[in-house]
Amino acid sequence: MRLSTRGHYGLKAMFDLAQHYGSEPIPLKTVAERQNISDNYLEQLIAILRKAGLVKSVRGAQGGYILARDPGSITVGDIIRAMEGPIAPVECVSEVEPTECDQAGSCITRTVWARVRDRLAEVMDSISLADMLRDAENLSEHKAQEYKQNAPEGGS
């Protein structure tokens, strides 16, 4: 039940773009450096996101990438489906074009995987990039708070 780096890096890149949504296009190299990903490789990955309509590109000098829509309307599910294909723990319960096996009607393991698939889709579709931005803000506030509590006098 592992994601490949495609989905992993894809989400990282999209989150990076979300953090800079509204300003000039971000060059791929910048994203790659910030997120610690090989820029050669990320180039391939972002092409997938572009073809899926999740990011827009601006070519030429001062070019780069921007989110195609606002962060509130892009979910983790959107990104993962683009990068890894339809959600499906096993082929026979794929979100699109499941190729049924012979005993599909009576297969109980199949119904188990359908439930797993639904939960997976549910959680991924419920988290948008905007949610992640909000979480990031809370997290950093929390950290600052912790810091204050742990070192209120300002140690050397």
Partner DNA sequence: AACAATTCCGAGTTAAACAGTTTGATTTAA
Partner DNA sequence: TTAAATCAAACTGTTTAACTCGGAATTGTT
Contact footprint for DNA (CB under 7 A): 4-6, 27-29, 38, 40-41, 43-44, 46-47, 50, 57-65
Residue 55 is a binding residue for its own copies (CB under 8 A): no
Cα 121 from Cα 90, distance rounded (Å): 14
| Coil, strand or helix at 28 | helix
Q: Which of the listed partners (DNA, its own copies, none) does 135 bind, with a CB threshold of 5 to 8 Å by partner kind?
A: its own copies
Residue 76 is a binding residue for its own copies (CB under 8 A): yes
| Coil, strand or helix at 57 | strand
Query: Which CB sits closer to its own copies, 58 or 84?
Result: 84
Burial-class residue 58 by CB neighbours within 10 Å (0-12, 13-18, 19+): middle
Give residue for tokens 């894809």. Answer: 10
Which residues face 67 on adjacent strands?
Answer: 55
Which residues are CB-neighbours of 42 under 8 A, at least 6 positions away?
A: 9, 13, 28, 31, 32, 35
User: Smallest distance, Å, CB 150 to DNA?
Assistant: 35
Residue 21 is a binding residue for its own copies (CB under 8 A): no
Query: Which CB sits closer to its own copies, 58 or 94?
Result: 94
Residues in contact with its own copies, shown as a per-residue x/- string from 90 to 109 under the rule CB under 8 A: xx---------xxx-xx-xx
Which residues are CB-neighbours of 73 under 8 A, at least 6 positions away?
A: 128
User: Smallest distance, Å, CB 146 to DNA?
Assistant: 32
Query: Which CB sits closer to its own copies, 63 or 118?
Result: 118
Query: Which CB sits closer to DNA, 38 or 73?
Result: 38
Residue 38 is a binding residue for its own copies (CB under 8 A): no
